[in-house]
Amino acid sequence: MPLLERDRHQARLARFHTDGGKDHLSFIQRSGDCELTSDARLDASAPAYLDLSLRVLCTKPGTLRLGWRVDWPGRRSFVPGLGFATQGHTVAPWVGRQTRGGAFVLASKHPSEIELVAEHVGHLGALSWGAETRLAQGKVHEERHRLFLGSDSLAEAARLGWEFAGEALGAVSGTLKPPPKWAVLEARNDANQLVISSRAHADGSWQLSLPPGNYKIRSKSPGGADELQTRVSAGGESTLNLVPPAPGQLELWALGEDGKPLPARWILRGMGETPDPVLNPQSELNAWMLFTLHGSEKIALAPGEYEVTATHGPEYGLFQQVVSVKADQGAVVRATLRRQLDVSGWVASDFHLHQAPSFDSEVSLEDRLTSLLSDGIRFAAATDHNVVTDYAPALAALAPEADLGTTKGVEITTRGWGHFNAFPYGISEAPTVKDRKPEEIFGQVRRDQPGAVLQVNHPRMGDIGYFNQAKLDLKTGDAAAGFSYDFDTIEVFNGFDLGNPGAVQQCLDSWYGLLQNGWRFTAVGNSDSHRLVGEYAGYPRTYVKVPTGTPVTETSIAEGLRGGHAWVSNGPALDVRLNGAGPGDTANLSDGNRLQVRVATADFVGVNRVQLVINGAVVFEQRFPEDLRGGQRELEFPLELIEDSWVVVLVRGDQALESILPRIDAKPLAFSNPIFVDVDGDGRFRARNASVREHREHASPGGTSLEQ
C-alpha cells in the first residue's frame, strides 16, 4: 500500500496495464494540494520482484515523506538489528518475512524508517518510510522500493535487499556435517544485534551475505549450538567450520486409561541451565511444543534436562515428568492421561478456526485437525476469511475413526463492519461483502443457507468489532444504518482475550444488554486460532448440549446453539439447573426457587469463586476457602425474583493456566448461557426492556425474541 504521511487512505484511481511484458499497476492518490502517483512493475524472473515507485507533485511547497506498507499477518517480521519482532522502530534498508517455503523482503533504495505494525490480534506487517523531504512548488519527488517475492530463504532475500540499497557485501559460508534434520544460521554484530537469521539447506550447506563488519556466526540445530567469530569485508568470502552437536532422542508416548494411544499436546521446557528447545523452525511449530495424533513421536533434542508436560484438554488430568536427555542416547516418556471431568451430553466445540486457506494463517488442514484432536475438541467449524473450507476430506485421510465432527464454514470478513461466521455452509462460494451492509450479507446467508448459524465474532475488538463499528447503543438499540440483528450467536469469549479479562467483561456486558433488551442470542467461546502455538485451538471452547442418543452432527450442534443450550469455558466444568431447566430453557418457580450449580475442575485448573448474574447484574458471589482443584463442588442459591428474569452463572479462578497455556496469563473462566425464569406464571418470558426490541423489530427483523 503506498502511503503519503499526511493522508494514508486517499486512493482515488487505479489502472492496470502491461508494459514491455511486465505487469504494471498504477495508482493516483490526491491529498489536499498534492498528487501521489505510485507504480508497481512485476518482474517474473527468478527470484521475482515488484519495482515500486512513488512520485509526488504538490502545487504548494511543504514538508512530507513517502512510504509503503506491507501486510503479512501471522509470523513476525525480521528487521536487521531488531531481529524477529512484532513492534518497534528502527532505520534499516529492508524488512522481511520468513515463510515455510521461502521469504519476502521489502527494500528501499535508501535506508528507511521501519515501523512494525501490530494490533490486538497480533502482528500485521510493516511500514517503510523515506526521509522527510522539503518539497518545492511544482517539483516532483520520488522514492523507490523493491519487494522481492521469490526468494528461497531469508538469507537470499536479505542479499537482494542490501544490494538494491547499494550496500557493499561480503559472504561467509560453510557446511554442517553430518547434515542435521534442520539448522538455522544467525549473524550478530558487535552490539549483539541480530542482523540475519536463515535456514541451512537440506545438505547442511549455508551462506550469509553481510555488510562489512565483525560478526558472531552461530548455528542452531536439534543437538544445540556452535559459534565462531569472523570478519566480513566488502567483496570478501570466507568459510567457517561450524559443527552441529550430536542430539539425544526423546520418544514420547501418550496413552489413555485403557492403554491405547491417545492424541496429545506436549510442552517441553528446559530446566536449570537447559534452554527451552526449538523443535522445528521450518514449520509453524517453531517453539517448545508439538502435537501427537497416534500417541507417539520421536524428537531430537540438545542434551539437557527437560520438564515434559502432556495434555488432552481440560477434561483430562495433566501429566508432567522431568527427563534427562544425553547426546547419542535415547529416553522414553510414557504419559497416561486419565479423564477427570464428566461432561456427558455436552460436546466440546470450537466455532472459529483458521488455517492455510486464510490469508493470515499457514496452518495446514492436517496440522489443524491434529491440534483439535490433541486438545479434546469433538466438533469444529472451519472458518477461513471469505473462503469456504471443508475439514472432512483431510480428516477422512488423516484419522477416519477419530471422534471429531466437522462442518464447512466461512468467516465473512468485511472492511467496515466486522467479522461474522456462518456454518454449516454447504455451498462453495462465500457471501459477497464488497460495498454491502450486514443486513444485505445476512440476508444472503439466510436465503442461500437457511440452516446456517450466524455468529458475530469478537464484537468489541477495535475496528473489527461489529458492535463498535455499528456504534450500537445498548440503551436504545439504535445502530448505524445497515446494522442487522439477524444473527444467532455472539462470540463473547475470544481466544485473543484469554489474558485480557477486561475485554471479556466488555463483551459480557454487551451480551447482557442485548438480553435485557429482549434479544435471545447464545454466547459462545472460540479460539480464533491462526497458529498452532500461542493461539491454542479449543481455548476457550463452547460445550453444546446434544440429547442422549442423538448423533453429533452439524444439525444437532446448530439446534443446540440456537436453543442456547451451551456453556463456555477455558478449563472449568459448569452445570447449572433450576427445577430441571438448564441453559437456554425457560423455568418457573412453582416447584421451588433453588438454583443448583455444580463446578468441577481437572487437577491443573484452580477456581475460587462462583458469581450469580441476574438481569445483567452480579447479585451474589460465593468464594471458596481454598482453590477447588481436581475435584467438584455442588452449590445451591435461593432465588428471590419479583419479575421475569434471566440467570447466568460464572466461575472464576486467579491462578493462570500456565501449565497448558504458557505465557498468556489466562485465568480460569466458565459461564453458562441464561436460564429464563417465568416469575409471574403467565406461561411466557418477557425481558425487562423488551420494548427496545419491539421498537427495533421493524427496522431489523432478525434475531430471536425473548418473549416466549
pLDDT tens-digit series, residues 59-88:
888 888 888 899 888 788 999 999 999 889
Question: Phi and psi (nearest 5°) for 322?
Answer: -95, 130
Helix and strand element counts for the chain (H, E): 8, 47
Kind and range of the H or E run holding 53: strand 49-58
Average pLDDT of the residues of the chain: 91
Q: How many CB atoms lie within 10 A of CB 590?
A: 9
pLDDT exceeds 70 at position 351: yes
Q: Measured between alpha carbons, how far is 322 from 110 in angstroms, rounded to an integer?
A: 52
Q: How confident is the model at residue 572 (pLDDT cuts 50, 70, 90)?
A: very high
Query: And the C-alpha cell for 360?
Result: 493470515
- The predicted model gives 300-320 an average pLDDT of 96
> How many Å apart are CA 506 and CA 288, to the nearest integer?
33
Count the Cβ atoms, other than its own, within 10 Å of residue 43: 16
Task: Look at residue 291 and tell me whether its pLDDT is greater than 60.
Answer: yes
Residue 3's pLDDT band (cuts 50, 70, 90): low
Which residues have a Cβ under 8 Å from the Cβ of 697 and sit 6 or more positions away? none
Find cell 462460494 and name the residue: 429
> Residue 544: beta bridge partners?
347, 566
Among 40-44, 214-218, 246-250, 261-265, which is the least confidently predicted range?
40-44
Spatial separation of the C-alpha atoms in residues 478 and 488, rounded to whole Å: 19
**Contact (Cβ atoms closer than 8 angstroms) between residue 697 and residue 347:** no
**Mean pLDDT value across residues 8-17:** 34
CB atoms within 10 A of CB 610: 24
* pLDDT of 644 over the 70 cut: yes
| Rounded-to-integer distance, Cα 127 and Cα 89, Å | 10
**Nearest CA-CA partner of 671 in 557, 524, 520:** 524
Query: What does DSSP assign to residue 200?
Result: P
Distance of alpha carbon 479 from alpha carbon 144, whole angstroms: 44
Residue 501, H or E segment: helix 501-516
Question: What distance, in Å, lies between the first and last C-alpha atoms of the chain?
Answer: 51
Average pLDDT, stretch 646-668?
A: 97
Task: Read off the pLDDT of residues 404-426 as tens digits, 9 standing for 90 and up.
Answer: 999 999 999 999 999 999 999 99
Distances (CA, A) of 122 to 419, 496, 535, 569, 607: 16, 9, 10, 23, 29
At residue 1 the predicted structure's pLDDT band, cuts being 50, 70 and 90, is low
35 contacts 54 by C-beta, under 8 angstroms:
no
Instruction: Classify residue 344 by burial, with Cβ atoms within 10 Å: 0-12, 13-18, 19+.
Output: exposed
Q: pLDDT band for 36, please (50, 70, 90 cuts).
A: confident
* CA angle, residues 674, 680, 682, in degrees to nearest 5: 95
Which is higher by pLDDT, 593 or 438?
A: 438
Grade residue 15 by pLDDT with cuts at 50, 70 and 90: very low
- In the predicted structure, residue 310 carries a pLDDT above the cut 90: yes
Phi, psi of 173 (to 5 degrees): -145, 175
Q: What is the pTM of this model?
A: 0.91
Q: In angstroms, how far is CA 561 from the centroid of its own chain?
A: 23
